[in-house]
Amino acid sequence: MSVAAIDPKHNVQTVRQNFYDKISKQDMAPLWEVLRNVVTKEPKSKASPKVWKYDEIKKSILEAGELITPEEAERRVLVLENPSLRGQSRVTNTLFAGVQLIMPGEVADAHKHVSSAIRFVLDGEGAYTAVEGEKANMSRGDFILTPNWAPHDHGNPGKEPVLWLDVLDMPTINHFETSFMEHYDEKAQNTNRQDGDSLDRYGSGVLPDGQIVETYAKRSPVINYTYARTRPIAERLMKAGDIDPRHGARVRYSNPVNGGHVMATMGAYLAMFPKGFKGEDYRSTEGMIFVCVEGHGSTKVEDKVLEWGPNDVFVIPPWKRYAHTCPEETVLFSISDRPMQEALGIWREGK
Ligand code: 1HN
């Protein structure tokens, strides 16, 4: 062996490592050692595709209903944890998903936080969410918005357990380290606007005659987007043959003030698929959370196949190639982080 090979001064690897160790004490590191991992050629999501079966979700959350009250829990929610991101309370890198149960007679106290939520109703009748003074009735297939910093509480004066899917931008808020939360002294907020008030005011082809554009630039003024109103529109598209080869007959829920997404951080869609639909491959940089509302089918994601039926929830991480197949007429609701990506100019799609 030559002297140079054992002399650290002449061994490039050792000399470099000594240098890295030295600068490490000064909280510095060489970019060239990690560059390919931090600036990848393509998105490499750490999340995995996964389907949660509704019968398992329901059985477990009803069991939780016997174990803990909403007073103790604040919110009785089972987190849908992405199997590759366990312990991080997230379904994709940017979004939280969970299933909430409220039993007859229960209330979940008023609070507000920076995280925005979309609550998609899965099961049961008779519960409500009150948002900024409007009490929104919750029926299957509806979703309720609780925008950033909007006071909200839930109650179930009905006779059945009510279950819904909560999707929040909380992991993103925590990424920015901008979380605030406040509780209210009173359990439920005073409701001074009846159910459907915001939809009637803002979602009927007229708008209050005044300066509302700025107020509602980043969130829709409509609190409750009902299935009864939206499903027939998707069906009309489908019957007219207005069917995207990847997404089916799909509508995007919109802010009636500016046509944008319902919120700045999360967007929602409803898609109807005709019997025998075989979708083309698609991928985009948004993380998608789907709920099967009607029918059943399967989604091929890269080399995995997710089989789903009514109320099953499934997740497709960013830039995973997927295609839906529907042996019968099917309806899928979906939520994604696309508005954030569009706002930053980083959203992409491909085949
Ligand atoms: C929350 O406040 C609710 O208000 C539901 O019902 C789920 C998940 C994470 C953080 C806050 C609610 C939540 C949440």
221 pLDDT above the threshold of 90: yes
pLDDT range class, residue 194, cuts 50, 70, 90: confident
Residues 223 and 330 both lie in one domain = yes
CA 343 to CA 108: how far, in whole Å? 33
CA 326 to CA 332: how far, in whole Å? 10
- 321 token code pair: 């190639």
User: How many Å is the Cα radius of gyration of the chain?
Assistant: 24
8 pLDDT above the threshold of 70: no
Q: Which residues pair with 79 in a beta bridge?
A: 98
pLDDT range class, residue 185, cuts 50, 70, 90: confident
- 97 token code pair: 């998903």
Answer yes or no: are the C-beta atoms of 262 and 143 closer than 8 Å. Answer: no
Pocket around ligand 1: residues whose beta carbon is below 6 Å from it?
Answer: 75, 77, 96, 98, 100, 108, 113, 115, 152, 154, 166, 168, 170
10 pLDDT above the threshold of 80: no
Main-chain phi, psi angles of 154, to 5 degrees: -120, 155
Q: Residue 168's pLDDT is what? A: 98
Quote the domain boundaries for residue 29.
Answer: 3-38
Q: Residue 81's pLDDT is what? A: 98
Q: Residue 210's pLDDT is what? A: 82
More confident residue, 196 or 288: 288
Ligand 1 centroid–CA 299 distance in Å is 29
What is the CATH classification number for the domain harbouring 326? Answer: 2.60.120.10
pLDDT digits (tens, 9 = 90+) for 21-52: 999 999 999 999 999 999 999 999 999 999 99
- Is residue 45 domain-resident? no
pTM, whole model, 2 decimals? Answer: 0.95
Q: Residue 318's pLDDT is what? A: 98
Answer yes or no: are the C-beta atoms of 4 and 10 closer than 8 Å. Answer: yes
Residue 214: count of CB within 10 angstroms of its CB: 8
Residue identified by tokens 């174990």 is 67
Q: What is the mean pLDDT of the chain?
A: 95
Ligand 1 centroid–CA 75 distance in Å is 6
Residues 246 and 280 both lie in one domain = yes
Residues 71 and 150 both lie in one domain = yes
